[in-house]
Amino acid sequence: MKTRAATVIRIAGPFGIVDILLSVLLGMVILSAVPARAETGNVAAPPIAGRCVACHGADGIGKAPQYPNLKGQKAAYLEKQIQAFRSGARVEPWMSAMAKSLTDEEIVALAAWFAALR
Ligand code: HEC
């Protein structure tokens, strides 16, 4: 089972759908360990934030140099950027893939949560 999974990863990676799925899974694990309201005071993490935290951090600080910090950023700016990734106006392989499946409501909730992180 383990070997099979490793083979699939080798075939689909790097930066294939398996990488994205793995980052989503990892994100969910990380997010589930974060008390929902502890760091924002009053804005709860939307469940879909589990897809973001593997790269952008459960505290909104990017996990690697290429992943920008989102903590405390203006919600309107974050919304605009995610919409731009979704529409194709802004292109970056990871983010374009991440944004594609988000609804308007999810984008608003994600932007509000990252903006409220302190
Ligand atoms: C696999 C890593 C990865 C995941 C997962 C990911 N992002 Fe990103 N994100 C990036 C990268 C890389 C950039 C920088 C894009 C660029 O260089 O243009 C970025 C940029 C952004 C930006 C623009 C920041 C700015 O200052 O302009 C926003 C907003 C954002 N991501 C939100 C999200 C949200 C919301 C999620 C979850 C739905 C998410 N990201 C998931 C890698 C990721």
pLDDT of residue 31: 59
State in Å: Cα 6 to ligand 1 middle: 26
Note whether 86 and 57 are within 8 A (CB).
no
- Name 57's Cβ contacts closer than 8 Å, sequence gap at least 6: 63, 67, 69, 71
- Name 56's Cβ contacts closer than 8 Å, sequence gap at least 6: 62, 63, 67, 68, 69, 70, 114
CATH code of 66's domain: 1.10.760.10
Number of domains in the chain: 1
Quick check: 5 pLDDT over 70? Answer: no
Quick check: 34 pLDDT over 70? Answer: no
Is residue 38 very low, low, confident or very high in pLDDT (cuts 50, 70, 90)?
A: very low
Give dist(CA 13, CA 9) in Å, integer: 5
Q: Nearest C-alpha to atom 26 of ligand 1 is from which residue?
A: 68
pLDDT of residue 68: 98
pLDDT of residue 42: 79
State in Å: Cα 94 to ligand 1 middle: 7
- The residue range of the domain holding 56 is 2-116
Give dist(CA 18, CA 36) in Å, integer: 27
40 in contact with ligand 1, CB cutoff 6 A: no
